[in-house]
C-alpha cells in the first residue's frame, strides 16, 4: 500500500485505507519506490491484515488498522513499478522472492529456480489487465484498499513445495 497510495486516499474516511504506519505524501511514496529500486529497501512485504466487514464498518477512529494485501501485492507492484519502468521485472522478483528468502534464512533453493529442488515459484501473466473485486478474493476477508482499481499483471498459479495451486476456475480446465 505504501508503495502506491498516498494520504489523499484517506480523505473519504474509508477504513480500508487506515494503515499503521499511516499513508503518507506522494513525495514519500516516490522515496519508497526509489529506495526499493536502489536496494536500500531489501524487500516488499504485504502486512496482510484481514479484518471482518463488521470491524472495518466502525467509525474511522474506532476501526482496526490494516488491509489485506497478499492477493494484490504483485499486481500493484507491476502496475506501479514495472510497467511505468521505475524498476525492472527482475529487480522486482529479487525484492519479492530472493531477498525475503535470504532474510528469513529459508532453505537453499527458496527464492530461486534450481535444478533438483522442489519447485517454489509463481507463474505470472505480466500483461493481464484486471479489476480488483472483493468477490474474487480467496482470502477469508475482503478489506482491501484496492477494490475497484485496475491493475496490469496478475498471478496465474503458484508451485509450492512442488504442488500446483491454480487460482482462477477458468485456468483449471
Catalytic residues: 47
Cα–Cα distance between 124 and 7 in angstroms, integer? 30
Long-range contacts made by residues 125-133, C-beta under 8 angstroms, separation at least 24? 125/153, 125/154, 125/156, 126/78, 126/82, 126/89, 126/152, 126/153, 127/152, 127/153, 128/152, 128/153, 128/154, 130/75, 130/154, 132/72, 132/75
Query: Would you state the cell numbers that stand for residue 69, as one nine-digit string?
Result: 494485501
Are the beta carbons of 63 and 13 closer than 8 angstroms? no
**Which DSSP state fits 35?**
H
Cell of 124: 505470472
Amino acid at each position: 500500500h505504501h508503495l502506491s497510495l498516498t494520504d489523499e486516499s484517506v480523505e473519504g474516511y474509508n477504513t480500508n485505507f487506515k494503515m499503521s504506519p499511516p499513508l503518507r505524501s506522494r513525495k514519500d511514496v516516490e522515496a519508497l519506490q526509489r529506495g526499493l529500486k536502489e536496494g536500500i529497501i531489501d524487500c516488499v512485504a504485504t502486512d496482510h491484515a484481514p479484518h471482518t466487514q463488521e470491524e472495518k464498518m466502525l467509525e474511522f477512529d474506532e476501526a482496526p488498522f490494516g488491509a489485506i494485501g497478499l492477493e494484490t501485492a504483485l499486481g500493484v507492484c507491476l502496475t506501479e513499478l514495472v510497467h511505468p519502468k521505475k524498476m525492472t521485472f527482475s529487480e522486482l522478483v529479487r525484492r519479492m522472492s530472493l531477498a525475503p528468502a535470504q532474510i528469513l534464512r529459508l532453505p537453499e533453493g527458496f527464492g530461486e529456480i534450481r535444478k533438483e529442488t522442489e519447485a517454489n515459484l509463481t507463474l505470472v501473466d505480466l500483461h493481464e489487465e484486471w479489476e480488483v473485486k472483493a468477490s474474487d478474493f480467496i482470502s477469508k476477508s475482503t478489506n482491501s484498499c484496492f477494490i475497484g482499481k485496475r491493475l496490469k499483471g496478475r498471478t496465474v498459479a503458484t508451485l509450492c513445495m512442488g504442488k500446483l495451486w491454480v487460482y482462477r476456475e477458468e485456468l483449471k480446465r
